[in-house]
Amino acid sequence: MRERLSGNEAAAIAMKQINPDVVAAFPITPSTEIPQYFSTFVSNGTVDTEFVAVESEHSAMSACIGAQAAGGRAMTATSANGLSLMWEMIYIASSLRLPIVMSLVNRAVSGPLNIHNDHSDAMGVRDSGWIMTFSENNQEAYDNLVMAHRIAEHKDVLLPLMVCQDGFITSHSIENIELIEDEKVKEFVGKYKPEHYLLNDKEPIAIGPLDLQAYLFEHKTQQAIAMRNAKKVILDVAKDFEKMTGRSYGFFEEYKMEDAEVVIVCMNSTAGTAKYTADRMREQSVKAGVLKIRVFRPFPAEEVAKALAKAKAIAVLDKADSLNAAGGALFEDVTSGMFVNKIQVPTVNYVYGIGGRDTTSKEIESIYQDLLEIVKTGEIGNPYRYLGVRGCE
């Protein structure tokens, strides 16, 4: 079914088709439209969902935890400070092994206050035990949500999952999109059948103990194992999804990577600009490529390293600054993966687009030019670079 939808509408329609038992959400720009659209579905009876219009994001995640632990499917949507306020509950959701699904519309975390896109919200929860997928465009934001429950609820995984998309850039842009029929989504997502749940009066359970030195380490390790298990499940679900739609998804997308010498690694909507620029570079006989990360948690370290093995210079783009004097989160993950897998390619980091600063194809081209210079001279210089900002030497 071809449609023209914004990223937020696409996410809301995926949620409608999934028809969860509970949606608990609190408005925050730029994800507000998702609970708004969804409330309309509730008011008009097109879903069976109980919509809980909570008084804060902390309560949104708390209610999702309660609902999922009760034995239902729970979903939410948020951005930036909303996710920050949820932070405590984000860790608790994953530690309780509750496959809650969230639509995260990425926006800069305060402060100062800014409502536009970067990835500082997502990076704040990168070690929380949530599966995290990123979406280049509205189609991917939709597709990633349709695949989410199959991954999160798999018995070898049982972890919450967030689908990220760029605030305003995709959330508010209307694009052509291919929707899947309601019945097909329903069948693909399947019924939620938790093994243990609060509302099963035949088997009362207690959830969320005081868990001290004797057991906590084992319980956290089980989360780590589940995250490793998620890698296979993500690919298996993607295969089934491809059978249904013809759209193919891996951990990442390799764009013109077969012979690429200068490569940009990035996430979300910037990949579109990077691909466009790579095409322009190739017109100038530059062997440019793009590696777009779709699955950020679990991080496919070995697969990314192997995909980058043949490059001559790499730029990793971070749309969030770790403020650590040692590069952004994606840069650290990519270079660590390469090092461990004994792949030595000159690699630099660019922090870019903070607070919604526009990133143009011209700027992306300047990165490719920098990479060509590195290839030519063999000198990396400063690996911790910034793109499109004043006052940074």
Partner 1 sequence: MAYNHKQVMVDRPSRLTSGHRMCAGCGAPAVARMILRAVKPEDHVVVSNATGCMEVSTFLYPYTSWTDSYIHTAFENAAATLSGVEAAYKAMKATGKLPEDKDTKFIAFGGDGGTYDIGLQSLSGAMERGHDMVYVCYDNGAYMNTGIQRSSATPKFADTTTTPAGTKVPGKMQPRKDLTKIMVGHHLPYVAQTIALNNFKDLYEKSEKAIYTEGACFLNVLAPCPRGWGYNTEDLMQINKLAVETCYWPLYEVIDGKYVVNYKPAKKLPIEEFLRPQKRFKHMFKPGNEWMIQEFQEEVDARWQELLDLEEITNK
To partner 1, the closest distance from the beta carbon of 201 in angstroms equals 4
Does residue number 389 form part of the binding site for partner 1 (CB under 8 A)? no
Does residue number 210 form part of the binding site for partner 1 (CB under 8 A)? yes
Phi, psi of 308 (to 5 degrees): -100, 0
Stretch that binds partner 1, among 212-220, 323-331, 338-346, 352-360 (CB under 8 A): 212-220
- Return d(Cα 353, Cα 368) in angstroms, integer: 17
Beta bridge mates, 263: 289, 314
* Closer residue to partner 1, CB minimum distance, 89 or 314: 89
> How remote is the C-alpha of 181 from its chain's centroid?
24
Does residue number 198 form part of the binding site for partner 1 (CB under 8 A)? yes
Does residue number 190 form part of the binding site for partner 1 (CB under 8 A)? no
The answer to whether residues 40 and 210 touch, using CB atoms and an 8 Å cutoff, is no
From the CB of residue 382, how many other CB atoms can be counted at a distance below 10 Å? 9
- Return d(Cα 160, Cα 153) in angstroms, integer: 8
To partner 1, the closest distance from the beta carbon of 236 in angstroms equals 26
Beta bridge mates, 208: none
The answer to whether residues 272 and 246 touch, using CB atoms and an 8 Å cutoff, is no
- Strands 74-78 and 174-178, sheet pairing: unpaired
Does residue number 208 form part of the binding site for partner 1 (CB under 8 A)? yes
Does residue number 48 form part of the binding site for partner 1 (CB under 8 A)? yes
Q: What radius of gyration do the chain's Cα atoms show?
A: 21
The answer to whether residues 364 and 273 touch, using CB atoms and an 8 Å cutoff, is yes
Please give the residues from 257 up to 286 whose contact with partner 1 meets the rule CB under 8 A.
Answer: none
Does residue number 205 form part of the binding site for partner 1 (CB under 8 A)? yes
Stretch that binds partner 1, among 57-65, 182-190, 290-298, 341-349 (CB under 8 A): 57-65
- Terminal-residue alpha carbon distance, the chain: 50
Please give the residues from 302 up to 341 whose contact with partner 1 meets the rule CB under 8 A.
Answer: none
Does residue number 204 form part of the binding site for partner 1 (CB under 8 A)? yes
Does residue number 56 form part of the binding site for partner 1 (CB under 8 A)? yes
Does residue number 3 form part of the binding site for partner 1 (CB under 8 A)? no
What is the total count of residues that contact partner 1 (CB under 8 A)? Answer: 44
- Return d(Cα 248, Cα 252) in angstroms, integer: 11
Binding mask 18-47 for partner 1 (x = CB under 8 A): ---xx-x-----------------------
Task: Describe the crossing of helices 182-189 and 138-152 by its angle, rounded to 10 degrees.
Answer: 30
Binding mask 68-107 for partner 1 (x = CB under 8 A): xxxxx-x-------------xx--x---x-----------
Query: Which residues contribute to the site for partner 1 (CB under 8 A)?
Result: 21-22, 24, 48-50, 52-56, 58-59, 62-72, 74, 88-89, 92, 96, 198-201, 204-212, 214-215
